[in-house]
Structure 1
Amino acid sequence: MGWKTHTILVRPAVLDGGPEKLLGDLGYDKVRKVSDTPIDGALQGSIWIGMVDDCAIIYSPLAGYFFAGEGDEENQEFEVFRNVLLRRFSEADIAVLSLHSVVGHWGFAIFHRGTLIRRQHGYDGMVIADEGSRLPVEEAYLSKFDRHDVDGVTRYRDPRHPEYGDMGDPDFGEELVFEICRSFTGFPLDRLQADGTNFWLNDDEEEFLRAEANMVRAPKRADGVPGSRPWWKFWN
């Protein structure tokens, strides 16, 4: 895997009042526009919002929380964000897409009129959660492969590349994320083109600047290399 994304797709969607109105509906009182930019420049701030035809696109680290486990710490901002999003677009279909190449993570969650109908995610060659029936787009993609059972487990082989050997669900995670994006927008993730806007929300910009300043002031090791770089949610 070589991709990283935290994307939410909503279709059909109409952003009456623009993205600023949507952010207000999502509970953000303090909003500062950073820049108008294509999706390739998303997340030069807290969140990016754009459109492709009748599909709204939201790029936010909060997308990752849709794949949190039962034992993971709750995030109050995410709880409000998710509940308002599902209420605001209660008649729409919503796809949450996540990829992170560092840990080999993939994930997709699909809501139909506010109800979760499908969720699968995993990492490092493992499926962590597999909920709901397969989507038509999944079945269409998997129909390209030959299926057979190995000890009661369905395995797949690519007739065009028999040298690949047996494959399982984790091997298709990234491609299924791409295909679900295509089913919502008309384009796979790697060819998605959309214009939108970056925003800072609430106190995120101040926190980011403080974290950046602390990194600059971090003491160097004896060999001249700066100290370990702290993680910050806005770094890509």
Structure 2
Amino acid sequence: MGWKAASIIISNVTTVDPEKLLQELGIEQFETIEDEPYDVAVYPEKHQIFIGVYKENLIISSWEITDHSFGKELSTFEQKLSILFPAAEICTIQLHSGVNHWGYSIVKNGEKIRVRCGNAEQGTIIELGEPLLEEQELLSKSEIKDGRRIYHLRDDEPYEEDQVGENFVSSMWARYTGKEFFEDEEMFEFKLSGFKTTKAASVQAGRKQKPKPVVVIKPWWKFW
């Protein structure tokens, strides 16, 4: 579908101060840039960060922040976000159609519960945790053949996992918004606050002290 995306979704956030959030994440060298709708902010340029709240989910779009989420251990930013939002799920999504790159990582209660990512050249790079409900429909249409997972969707033509990666990411978006990523037209109607930081600021962000919660979130029992 030609999508490119680099966002973190933090569930059950009702309000946030974007500039204070950046500081709590250890990013102190930044300047404001023009606010953008999500169809622009979903694919930020280098060193850009966009922050907004959509359907009671905090959205942070940034390649530099999301790039570190696809490992077995929590990234520095995931650690800090887990402290800032202790009752939330933290979901990172990435897409880049040029290389069929796809990925999602979900953190809950300070632990990774699911990580998957891959691309056309390397196949599936990492798979951690048990399948989620949102993955079941696609997985039910697959089989393991010669050590690879092959999908049978609308016709007899088999699909490699990188060819359906966008579908999985779309389902992760629906986990928090109620609509598939590619069907959610409302997401283009909200704007995010724009910032530009420096490479040095992004590097230093991982060396700051852990923050204290500073935002308003729903009680944990309202999440389910």
TM-score, L = length of structure 1: 0.70
Is the CA contact (8 Å cut-off) linking 1:27 and 1:80 kept in structure 2? no
SS state at 1:156 partner: strand
Structure 2: any 5+ residue segments left out of the alignment?
202-224
2:155 — aligned with what?
161
1:117 corresponds to 2:119: no
1:132 corresponds to 2:129: yes
Looking at secondary structure, tell me which structure has more strand per residue.
2
Is the CA contact (8 Å cut-off) linking 1:105 and 1:122 kept in structure 2? yes
Is the CA contact (8 Å cut-off) linking 1:50 and 1:57 kept in structure 2? yes
Which amino acid counterpart does residue 156 of structure 1 have in structure 2? Answer: Y
1:15 deviates by: 3.1
2:30 — aligned with what?
31
Structure 1: any 5+ residue segments left out of the alignment?
71-77, 206-236
Is the CA contact (8 Å cut-off) linking 1:91 and 1:114 kept in structure 2? no
1:80 deviates by: 4.0
Instruction: Give deviations 1:65-110, integer Å, cap 9, x for gaps.
Output: 222699xxxxxxx954332112211211111001112222111111
Which amino acid counterpart does residue 92 of structure 1 have in structure 2? Answer: A
1:150 deviates by: 3.8
Instruction: Give deviations 1:167-225, integer Å, cap 9, x for gaps.
Output: 343332111001111221233333333321111235779xxxxxxxxxxxxxxxxxxxx
RMSD value, Cα = 2.8
Aligned length: 192
Q: Which has the higher contact order (CA 8 A, sep 6+)?
A: 2
**Inter-CA distance 202–142: structure 2 relative to 1 (3 Å threshold):** same
TM-score, L = length of structure 2: 0.74
Instruction: Give deviations 1:123-180, integer Å, cap 9, x for gaps.
Output: 116111111111100003434x3x555457654323x412x1x334333211100111
1:198 — aligned with what?
194
Is the CA contact (8 Å cut-off) linking 2:14 and 2:53 kept in structure 1? no
| d(CA) in 2 for partners of 1:66, 1:37 | 24
Is the CA contact (8 Å cut-off) linking 1:89 and 1:113 kept in structure 2? no
Identity over the aligned pairs, expressed in percent?
Answer: 30
1:183 corresponds to 2:175: yes
1:218 — aligned with what?
none
| d(CA) in 2 for partners of 1:152, 1:36 | 46
SS state at 1:14 partner: strand
Is the CA contact (8 Å cut-off) linking 2:100 and 2:162 kept in structure 1? no
| d(CA) in 2 for partners of 1:157, 1:184 | 26
| d(CA) in 2 for partners of 1:7, 1:57 | 7
Is the CA contact (8 Å cut-off) linking 2:71 and 2:126 kept in structure 1? no
Is the CA contact (8 Å cut-off) linking 2:102 and 2:117 kept in structure 1? yes
